[in-house]
Amino acid sequence: MKRNAARGTTATMAPILEERKSSIMTADGCGGAGIACDKVSVSGSVSQRACAYCGARVVLNPITNACHIIHGPIGCSSYTWDIRGSLTSGEDLFRHSFCTDMRETDIIFGGEKKLIASIDEAVEALHPKVIFVYATCIVGIIGDDVHQVCADAEERHGIRVIPVQAPGFSGTKSTGYRLGGQAIMDLIGSNPFPRERAHGVNILGDFNLAGETWIVKGYCAHLGIDVVTGITGDASVEGLMRAPEAKVNVVQCAGSMSALAETMETELDIPFIKVSFYGIEDTTSSLVRMAEALGDERVVRATRDFCSEETRKLEPLIARYTPLLAGKRAAIYVGGGFKAISLIRQFREFGIETVMVGTQTGRPEDYDVIRSLVNPGCVILDDANPAELERFMVEKGADILVGGVKERPLAYKLGVAFCDHNHERKHPLAGYVGVRNFAEEINSSMNSPVWRYV
């Protein structure tokens, strides 16, 4: 049987909820009202989206020598135990899962005592330099004063103990990103570093999935650009504390880190540029803009030369894969708007048209850019549910879906190829080497011999 058996089928597709209609639109090549986004999911939907706690947790998780204590029942800790695929060149304390495992008696009598004892036990067992304490859904409701417990613990142990008030119901993942950003500010403080001595960049919003921060750092080292710290990819507590020294903040995953970048600009006088290291076009323009922002003409020239050289080296790759990939149709469902934008461009580099694009946390301005990039007829949707993803992938005849863990089996069941561009990515997808990996991955998924037997 030919693959894409789903195409043309009249599978019983679920209707679209009335409340969801303002979050779905079709690109028409002209202006008009924007998409409704950054809203809490509709009750009764099978949302693909996580909560505020998850947002804060994933932003802070990659800090390699921090201890992340989840104050709440066990689940929120179990589900976030070492799931991000963030790599470390230093300690691996962050790859442990710490939880106060609140039980019924803690709900009745309060969880403060258990939290105090848990912090003490963590210090005793593993001597962390920093502890983040995440207050999950019920902590505020039962009235635990997490701020006070943390303040007391700082005094008792002489280390930073930073509260992250991130109850899941307080908002979407974006809310959590902001809360995570605040915790980072709490750690690094708001004393500006003398601007005349500022040097290099911080890389924000790259979480070193499959070692992507190392790729960008490698380029920077080659070009003579000093990287102060990743925020938070492969970051250590010590590295983060030096963040105020940076001349420019380079923001990779704007969805998760815009708020922090804005705060760092206001409080620490560090300007920021938004970049994306996905795809040739965006990698090149990002590296050049980073060099320009630092203001050293020699570095800018070196960067341009480097990028031309790297692009040239990829020409045979493009030539090899374009005949295999051109004319295919892609569907994108990712976390942030910026990544979606890069992916649309990256697919275009191989002659692939994007026919559906959705994000979990895209902002109105991201959706404006998306509309300007895609062809008329492309479906654009915010916080999609599986029924909508299914419907539009089938309707638009997508050959490949780019998404995360929950979307993978959905795509395969539909006979659609898949590329994980989320926590479970198998190879680094950033930079020029990422272009190579991306091409190989989407080709191997779309042109796998297994499809012959479906």
Partner 1 sequence: MLDLTPRDGVAQRHALVINPAKTCQPVGAVYAALGVHRCMPHSHGSQGCVAFHRMYLTRHFKEPAMASTSAFTEGASVFGGGANLKTAIRNVFDLYDPDVMAIHTTCLSETIGDDLHSYLSDIEVPEGKHVIYCSTPSYVGSHIWGFASMTEGFVKQAAQKSGVATGRLALFPGFVNPGDMREYKRLMGQFGIRYTMLPDTSGVFDAPMTGTFELYPKGGTRFEDIVRLGDAAHSIALGEAASERPASQLQRDHRVSSEVMGLPIGVVATDVFVSALSRFSGEPVPYAIEEERGQVVDIMLDAQQYFKSRRVAIYGDPDTVLGIASLCLELGMVPSMMVTGSPMPTFQARASALLDGYGLADQCWAQDKADLFELHQRIIQGPVDLLVGGTHGKQIARAEDIPFVRAGFPIMDRYVHSYMPLVGYRGAMRLIELMSNALMDRQDRDCSDEDFEMVM
Residues in the chain: 454
Q: Which stretch binds partner 1 (CB under 8 A): 122-130, 218-226, 227-235, 349-357?
A: 122-130
Provide the mask over 220-259, with x wherever binding to partner 1 is found by CB under 8 A and - wherever it is not: ----------------------------------------
Contact status: 159 vs partner 1 (CB under 8 A): no
What Rg, from alpha-carbon coordinates, does the chain have? 23
β-bridge pairing 379-382 and 24-26: antiparallel
- Binding region for partner 1 (CB under 8 A) out of 133-141, 239-247, 290-298, 436-444: 133-141
Q: Residues 9 to 68: which contact partner 1 by CB under 8 A?
A: 9, 11, 14-15, 17, 19, 40-54
Which of 129, 242, 304, 406 lies at the binding interface for partner 1 (CB under 8 A)? 406
Query: Cα–Cα distances in Å, from 411 out to 53, 269, 419?
Result: 27, 45, 10
DSSP string, 244-282: GG-SEEEESSHHHHHHHHHHHHHHH---EEE---SSHHH
Determine how β-strand 417-420 pairs with β-strand 400-403. parallel
Q: How far is the CB of 156 from partner 1 (least distance, A)?
A: 15
- Nearest distance, CB of residue 57 and partner 1, angstroms: 10
Q: Strand, coil or helix: what is 228?
A: strand
**DSSP letter, residue 15:** P
Q: Which neighbouring-strand residues pair with 331?
A: 356, 401
Smallest separation, CB 388 to partner 1 (Å) = 10
For the chain, the distance separating the N- and C-terminal CA atoms, rounded to the nearest angstrom, is 6
Q: Looking at beta carbons only, is 103 or 199 nearer to partner 1?
A: 103
E strand map for 47-97: 66-71
106 binds partner 1 (CB under 8 A): yes
Burial of 297 (0-12, 13-18, 19+ CB in 10 A): exposed
| Residues in a beta bridge with 401 | 331, 418
CB of 4 to partner 1, least distance (A): 7
Q: Is 102 in the site for partner 1 (CB under 8 A)?
A: yes
Report the residue from 189, 295, 409, 444 that binds partner 1 according to the rule CB under 8 A. Answer: 409
The residue among 167 and 358 lying less far from partner 1, judged by its C-beta, is: 167
Q: Which stretch binds partner 1 (CB under 8 A): 24-32, 98-106, 221-229, 308-316?
A: 98-106
Closer CB to partner 1, residue 112 or residue 245? 112
Measuring CA to CA, how many Å separate 93 from each of 42, 61, 74, 122, 191? 37, 10, 19, 11, 28
Please, which residue, 48 or 354, has the CB nearer to partner 1?
Answer: 48
Query: Least distance from C-beta 147 to partner 1, angstroms?
Result: 19
Q: Tell me the site size for partner 1, rule CB under 8 A.
A: 88
CB contact at 8 A, 356 and 332:
yes
Shortest spacing between CB 196 and partner 1, in angstroms: 40
Asked whether 339 and 286 are in contact (CB, 8 A), the reply is no
By CB under 8 A, what part of segment 376-395 binds partner 1? Answer: 386-387, 390
From 144-152, 164-172, 203-211, 288-296, span contacting partner 1 (CB under 8 A): 164-172
Residue 122 or 227: the one with the smaller Cβ distance to partner 1 is: 122
Element (H, E) at 93: none
User: Both tokens of residue 392?
Assistant: 């539009």
- Smallest gap from Cβ 103 to partner 1, in A, equals 5
- By CB under 8 A, the residues from 410 to 439 that bind partner 1 are 410, 412-415
